[in-house]
Amino acid sequence: MTEHAVVIAGGGPTGMMLAAELALAKVDVAVLERRPDHVLVGSRAGGVHSRTIEVLDQRGVADRFLAEGQVAQAAMFATTVLDMSDFPTRHPYSLGIWQNRIERIMAAWIAELPVRIYYGCEVTGFVQDGAGVDVERSDGHSLRASYLVGCDGGRSVIRKAAAIDFPGWDPTRSNLIAEVETTDEPPKGIRHDASGVHALHTMEDGRTVRVIVTEQQIGPAGEPTLRDLSEALVAVYGTDFGIHNPTWISRFTDMTRQAAAYRAGRVLLAGDSAHVHYPAGGQGLSLGVQDAVNLGWKLAQVVNGTSPESLLDTYHDERHPVAARALRHTMAQAALQRRDERIQALVDVVSELAAMDEPRKRLAGIISGLDIHYDLGEGHPLLGRRMPDLDLVTVDGPLRVFELLHGAKPVLLNLGAPGAFDITPWADRVQMIDAEYGGPWDLPVLGAVSAPTAVVIRPDGYVAWVGERTQLGLAEALTTWFGPPAAP
Ligand SMILES: Cc1cc2nc3c(=O)[nH]c(=O)nc-3n(C[C@H](O)[C@H](O)[C@H](O)COP(=O)(O)OP(=O)(O)OC[C@H]3O[C@@H](n4cnc5c(N)ncnc54)[C@H](O)[C@@H]3O)c2cc1C
């Protein structure tokens, strides 16, 4: 039987990001993807938010995405654009880029890494024992892995086979999304009514119209047809604009659910397999990519034997609350999209509030992902928050903090007296960098914080320890996150 250390079911954005993280950590990883190749039919998600651009920047690949997309202030709440151009980040914006392009760029990136990808390969289930997982495929073959990660989307076979509960809220409405041609020129832009939101946009080729229309009743399970789309358009616009030549028709709902556990033994969930929600606010893809970046290095350390299996539990502990908050946020956003006169009055009030400085920053912090705070205990405000991409000065010249993270290895960044730290017992795992930084310490939403003298940065870019003129707690933090010290 073929063996891999980690098998990932599903090669969407989450699965590909996780594969990259594991490959960077030198883990033997394979992706099983149902589609015949990476090509995604239809445009699907419209982009990513700031923290996701940052995590791609941490791996040195953000420019590939920025080159093909358009930066914009696209985070919104009710009718207010949450301008985050004053946020202290190199990427104080969202990036408009269709998901099929994102996946093409990601597929090209992981092709440069030692990732084994099996296309046209559907996972049907698994059996786990104390030592590993047998992953079953639709062609009757199976693969053996130490760990299996379900990145297989909202209808996840892995989640179901693991018998992980998926509590939440049933759908109250459905939308059709499609790419079609029209005989008549449709009105462009977004429209709201009592049923929800509708939008018509001409795509880059000048011919194809991307249609999003809320259905009058929740549509049935199964593939929607051109006729369904026509009826939904007529109900809203009084005409279907002569739609024809569909290249993609799909249906999504406001069903909102989250896996009760992100781990069952040697099986883990990430991305849409762990949480589904209405796409208001456009956070789904970003959440999945960040799940992958949180899980990847932890799983690599467990597989490589540097950390105990209990490290994997911090994945659920950290990421479950982040998605839970995003789910509630999208439910609020979705409620504000239904516009009878009473809701419109509420939208007006909320929009006015969202334009004020403090609420703007708070809401933009949530949507951008820049305010994420993992609960790593009491201490300096940096603890558990993202490390800013500071411009450092080192003996080898200028260096950005994110450049230190390209290889997905942790860093002890000493900003005090050079040579003050000796981390020999972790030297095989943790980079030790002496550097100078004299600029401000400014965090999104929080504002200015006091300058630390040293920080430990995890491979996902979050701060695991802050030194303020003392090394108190450093050895414990290194042990907790990167395993026990090596014997002398
Ligand atoms: C209309 C719309 C607009 C959206 N807009 C945004 C947006 O602007 N921003 C944003 O962040 N998100 C947006 N989203 C959400 C986003 O598309 C998803 O959150 C994202 O695709 C999740 O990625 P994933 O890799 O976790 O899952 P998926 O993209 O669903 O990938 C799962 C992969 O697993 C494969 N697979 C499934 N089952 C199996 C199996 N049994 N065996 C092998 N392979 C399997 C599938 O083929 C697929 O490639 C939008 C979604 C919709 C529908």
- How confident is residue 322, by pLDDT bands cut at 50, 70 and 90? very high
Report whether 61 contacts 296 (CB < 8 A). no
DSSP 8-state code for residue 378 = S
3-state secondary structure of 99: helix
205 CB-contact burial (10 Å; exposed 0-12 / middle 13-18 / buried 19+)? exposed
Give this prediction's pTM: 0.97
State how beta strands 133-137 and 256-258 pair: unpaired
- Output the CA–CA distances (angstroms, integers) from residue 206 to 69, 99, 185, 226, in the order listed: 17, 19, 12, 21
12-16, 279-283, 410-414, 442-446: segment of lowest average pLDDT? 279-283
Report whether 31 contacts 170 (CB < 8 A). no
DSSP 8-state code for residue 297 = H
For residue 461 and ligand 1, the question of a CB distance below 6 A is answered with no
- How confident is residue 469, by pLDDT bands cut at 50, 70 and 90? confident
Residue 349 has φ and ψ, to the nearest 5°, of -65, -50
The length of the chain in residues reads: 488
**Interval between CA 279 and ligand 1 midpoint (Å):** 11
User: Can you give the pLDDT at residue 221?
Assistant: 85
Share of the chain above pLDDT 70, in %: 100
3-state secondary structure of 86: coil
- How confident is residue 195, by pLDDT bands cut at 50, 70 and 90? very high
For residue 46 and ligand 1, the question of a CB distance below 6 A is answered with yes
Average pLDDT over residues 28-40: 96
For residue 34 and ligand 1, the question of a CB distance below 6 A is answered with yes
Closest ligand 1 atom to residue 284 Cα is 19
Q: Is the pLDDT of residue 127 over 90?
A: yes
For residue 47 and ligand 1, the question of a CB distance below 6 A is answered with yes
Closest ligand 1 atom to residue 122 Cα is 42
State how beta strands 168-169 and 256-258 pair: antiparallel
For residue 150 and ligand 1, the question of a CB distance below 6 A is answered with no
For residue 384 and ligand 1, the question of a CB distance below 6 A is answered with no
For residue 282 and ligand 1, the question of a CB distance below 6 A is answered with yes
| Count of CA atoms in the C-beta half-sphere (13 A) of 259 | 31
How far is the C-alpha of 55 from the C-alpha of 461, rounded, in Å?
8
Best CA proximity match to 268, nearest among 18, 4, 17, 32: 18
Q: Is the pLDDT of residue 1 over 80?
A: no
Mean pLDDT estimate for the chain: 96
- The residue type at 155: R
Our CA angle for 417, 418, 422, nearest 5°, is 105
How far is the C-alpha of 17 from the C-alpha of 102, rounded, in Å?
11
Alpha-carbon torsion (180, 186, 188, 194), positive or negative:
negative
Token readout for 192 is: 């709201």
Closest ligand 1 atom to residue 157 Cα is 41
3-state secondary structure of 149: strand
How far is the C-alpha of 332 from the C-alpha of 399, rounded, in Å?
41
